[in-house]
Structure 1
Amino acid sequence: MDVLIVGAGPTGLTLGIDLARRGVDALVVEAGEKLFPGSRGKGIQPRTQEVFDDLGVRDALRAAGGPYPPQLFWKNGERLETQPIFDEVTADEGAPYTDPLMVAQWRTQEVLYARLLELGGRVGFGQALTGLEQDAEGVTARFADGRTARARYVVAADGGRSAVRRAVGVAMTGESVDPNPFLVADLRVRGLDRDHWHVFVGADGNGVALCPLAGTDDFQLGAKLPEGTAADLSLAGVRRLVSAYSHLDAADVTELRWASDFRPRAALADRFRVGRVFLAGDAAHVHSPAGGQGLNTSVQDAYNLGWKLGAVLAGDAPDALLDTYEEERRANAAAMLNLSTGVHRGEVRRGEATVQLGIGYRESSLTEETRTDPGPVRAGDRAPDGRNADGVRMFDAFRGPHWTLLAPDPVHTVPESVRRLRAPESYGSGVFLVRPDGYVAWAGDTARGLAEYAGRTGPGARGKR
């Protein structure tokens, strides 16, 4: 096979979808016997909604979830005040999605899994990786049941305790974000409305928050525990925790569906590529869940890597293109770790900083800005939505695994596989070559130099399969 993806979480499923629509022979393997059952990551940021629009799942996810409710703070059984979770970000033609969407992680995975199967992708459950060996032609993976698999490339999407990362000997460098232990759980609760995210803070500064999970009958419990205590993940333990910090009785917690504990830590893998093995998602970066960055950054890792693997495997680009995955995504992950730590510590507000619409690759070696006086959209920027003079919507034009050329006049120096149309006026003047992942790769006053760029790193490059 071409690609073995280890881990069937949001990262692995997203990558599987992107490769399947490119005709790449890929297999997703998962150590568990089924998809992850909890709602650890529930926020889908606007930039990730754009990614999911391209992958054909945004409508299904909107149907499966809903908006975030405001926080309602309680004290001694009395309502105190409500506050929005996020500062408002104004939508415009270039950024039509600005509100985070709440979808329980298990629901997100169900939607992604269904899309992967629809595209002919495969997932093998009950396959725990125990080791791997690389050679010049590919990677051999070994599993706990004695089976082996051979692939040209392997992608670690198997979480913070990644077996793949350990197998290739990559360390993670980081620090503790908070000395207190935390608990997260999905449960059923009576006695609370579903119009608010209910917050109960104790005199010791610790407490619990109960958020109604959109599209389900569950609440997500998030609890900060006193330093030095151990989390009790049993139903009885969760009941004691809720009754200790809120006005609810223990019996008001009627069912515990899933629970986990963690200690917030920010850590970054020292490398994202080791030969034919790539690290993505939590296998490459772990952090506080504050700010809803984790699942989103992980999905965008997969989105960045998918088109590059597809191009190299098809012989349309040299292997060196794959080095830009680490170059682009490791720097992005490092910035995300700082951001999520800032949100956790109350130093950064949720809103403009956390919607991820400003993420770009201006410093990437793949990016070339040749104009002397760039306009509002520069090479390396996310390519905004909008309509051109012909009435074509940009996100509709970008949807799919192709490159897109935006030029005022016909250009004949790029491959026929590149979609061509005029840019909206909001882009400013110039010629723009947009990557398959929706970022401007090259920009110029005219098309001069475009053919050379495309032949070296873009859609006109030819590599060795």
Structure 2
Amino acid sequence: MTDVLIVGSGPTGLTLACELALSGAAVRVVEGRGAPHRESRGKGLWPSSLDVLRGLGAAEPLEAVGSSEVVLRKYFDGAQVNDTPMPGGGLLTGQWQVEGALRERLAGLGVQVEYGSPLAGITQDAAGVRAELADGTAIGARYLAGCDGGRSTTRKLLGIPFEGTGEEEPAMVVGDVRAPGLSRDFWHQWFTSEGGGILLCPMPGTDTFQLQAAPEQDERGGVLPASLEGFQRLFDRHARMPGIRLADATWLSSWRVSVRMAARMREGRAFLAGDAAHVHPIAGGLGMNTGIQDAAALGRTLIAALDGQGGEEVLDGYGAERLPVAAEVLADTARRYERVMAAVRTPGRGTEAGLD
């Protein structure tokens, strides 16, 4: 029987795995995907998260590649308006790079992610948890941590309500693209008086930009899915730079406004962390960072429990610490998102309004 089975190998699950492995705990990490991804997704680490990764010995490769100085170049109706330096202290880096650094550190501690291993069932008793994978494999563990994202299979199997609200239609299309000829010295943000806009952020250590834009609509007002062709049409409409042709879309996705949190973060010997426990607007870049902080707190809780330091009160301490934080993050990011949506109607204003 392993000490802790972690479901999900994103930044939250990998941070937790490193914390536990460094303490000497026996850890396994299962992942439903067949292989690591190379998608930028969450793209910023705040100082508190960098401190956690430094403590794990995983920050150095990220600091060598990432950028700590980011300048927002704002345009309005196609005209450049101003440049705004972002507050210092954080690090611009792609989520896949964060996961890669943590995965490498975890491998150095003797733990490999088990890909192609989707979770299918959970049973538990006073002695431990039994997880069943889709292929019928059973894994016994003293504790289980669900770090498997907003659609968390763990949360659903545990029967934990995911309370809150969510929009049906996407509010944004996102992706990773190349934009030959566009300066990589700036996070470009184009907005227009007619509404909508497009953002292209250069991802350090790559030749790609992360693209974010209000989605296209068809003639009936329905939202069109993300596509390279659609990205180009949106770019032409908002940026008005005919010499730039977007290319090589390696990630195409959409984002919906969702403000939800788990009713509880513990069910017996099973726990939730990261997006499995809470999802919220992207303003402020708090998603990946909040998950990393969850992992650090859950790591402390499980290490104490494995060492025999206390009983139920130790296990309950995780939710008591992190549920109020999650509630405040949901409220805070909703406020930040509203500020950004209002600010971009003013020439020269952009996503920095979410940091006010």
Q: 1:108 and 2:108 equivalent?
A: no
Q: 1:244 and 2:244 equivalent?
A: no
Deviation at 1:222?
0.8
Letter in 1 for 2:202: P
In structure 2, what is the equivalent of residue 118 of structure 1?
108
Q: Deviations over 1:153-211 (max 9, x none)?
A: 11000000000000011111112489762111111112211111111113332111001
In 2: Cα distance, 1:189 partner to 1:129 partner? 39
TM-score by length of 2: 0.90
Deviation at 1:314?
2.1
Deviation at 1:249?
4.2
- Identical amino acids, percent of aligned pairs: 39
Q: Is the 8 A contact 1:172 1:268 kept in 2?
A: yes
Q: Is the 8 A contact 2:170 2:255 kept in 1?
A: no
In 1: Cα distance, 2:110 partner to 2:222 partner? 47
Taking CA–CA contacts closer than 8 Å with sequence separation of 6 or more, which of the two structures ends up with the larger relative contact order?
Answer: 2
Letter in 1 for 2:283: A
In structure 1, what is the equivalent of residue 130 of structure 2?
140
1:260 aligned counterpart, secondary structure:
strand
1:63 aligned counterpart, secondary structure:
helix
In structure 1, what is the equivalent of residue 307 of structure 2?
314
In structure 2, what is the equivalent of residue 329 of structure 1?
322
Alignment map for 1:254-403 (pairs within 5 Å): 254-346=247-339
In structure 2, what is the equivalent of residue 187 of structure 1?
177
Q: 1:47 and 2:48 equivalent?
A: yes
In 1: Cα distance, 2:351 partner to 2:252 partner? 25
In 2: Cα distance, 1:76 partner to 1:286 partner? 33
2:89 aligned counterpart, secondary structure:
coil
Which range is displaced more, 180-189 or 265-274? Answer: 180-189
Query: Do the aligned partners of residues 50 and 224 (structure 1) sit closer, same or farther apart at CA in structure 2, a change above 3 Å counting?
Result: same
In structure 1, what is the equivalent of residue 346 of structure 2?
none
Q: Is the 8 A contact 1:133 1:139 kept in 2?
A: yes
In structure 1, what is the equivalent of residue 117 of structure 2?
127
In 1: Cα distance, 2:67 partner to 2:119 partner? 36
2:339 aligned counterpart, secondary structure:
coil
Q: Is the 8 A contact 1:231 1:261 kept in 2?
A: no
1:346 aligned counterpart, secondary structure:
helix
In structure 2, what is the equivalent of residue 71 of structure 1?
72
In 1: Cα distance, 2:187 partner to 2:352 partner? 17
In 2: Cα distance, 1:322 partner to 1:250 partner? 58
In 2: Cα distance, 1:75 partner to 1:200 partner? 6
1:152 aligned counterpart, secondary structure:
strand
Letter in 2 for 1:122: Q
Q: Is the 8 A contact 2:59 2:101 kept in 1?
A: no
In structure 2, what is the equivalent of residue 173 of structure 1?
163
Q: CA RMSD in A?
A: 2.4
Q: Is the 8 A contact 2:78 2:238 kept in 1?
A: no
Deviation at 1:323?
0.5
Q: Which structure has the larger Rg? A: 1
Q: 1:4 and 2:5 equivalent?
A: yes
2:35 aligned counterpart, secondary structure:
coil
Q: Which runs of 5+ in 1 are unaligned?
A: 87-97, 356-465
Q: Deviations over 1:55-110 (max 9, x none)?
A: 11222210121124221122454322122334xxxxxxxxxxx6111110101100
Alignment map for 1:191-270 (pairs within 5 Å): 191-225=181-215, 229-249=222-242, 252-270=245-263
In 2: Cα distance, 1:200 partner to 1:350 partner? 11
Deviation at 1:331?
0.5
In structure 2, what is the equivalent of residue 91 of structure 1?
none
In 2: Cα distance, 1:12 partner to 1:240 partner? 37
In 1: Cα distance, 2:167 partner to 2:296 partner? 28
Deviation at 1:150?
1.2
In 1: Cα distance, 2:257 partner to 2:80 partner? 29
1:161 aligned counterpart, secondary structure:
coil
Q: Is the 8 A contact 1:180 1:226 kept in 2?
A: no
Query: Do the aligned partners of residues 266 and 272 (structure 1) sit closer, same or farther apart at CA in structure 2, a change above 3 Å counting?
Result: same
In structure 1, what is the equivalent of residue 152 of structure 2?
162
Query: Do the aligned partners of residues 334 and 110 (structure 1) sit closer, same or farther apart at CA in structure 2, a change above 3 Å counting?
Result: same
In 2: Cα distance, 1:257 partner to 1:229 partner? 24
In 2: Cα distance, 1:24 partner to 1:41 partner? 28
In structure 1, what is the equivalent of residue 36 of structure 2?
35
Q: Is the 8 A contact 1:177 1:341 kept in 2?
A: no
Q: Is the 8 A contact 1:197 1:209 kept in 2?
A: yes
In 2: Cα distance, 1:261 partner to 1:272 partner? 27
Q: Is the 8 A contact 1:181 1:230 kept in 2?
A: no
Q: Deviations over 1:299-345 (max 9, x none)?
A: 01010011221121122333420110000001011111111111111
Deviation at 1:24?
0.6
In structure 2, what is the equivalent of residue 416 of structure 1?
none
Letter in 1 for 2:274: G
Letter in 2 for 1:244: R
In structure 1, what is the equivalent of residue 347 of structure 2?
none
Letter in 1 for 2:133: F
Q: Deviations over 1:117-160 (max 9, x none)?
A: 11112310000111211122111111122212111111000000
Q: Is the 8 A contact 1:287 1:337 kept in 2?
A: yes
Q: Is the 8 A contact 2:7 2:30 kept in 1?
A: yes
Deviation at 1:50?
1.2
In 2: Cα distance, 1:354 partner to 1:75 partner? 20
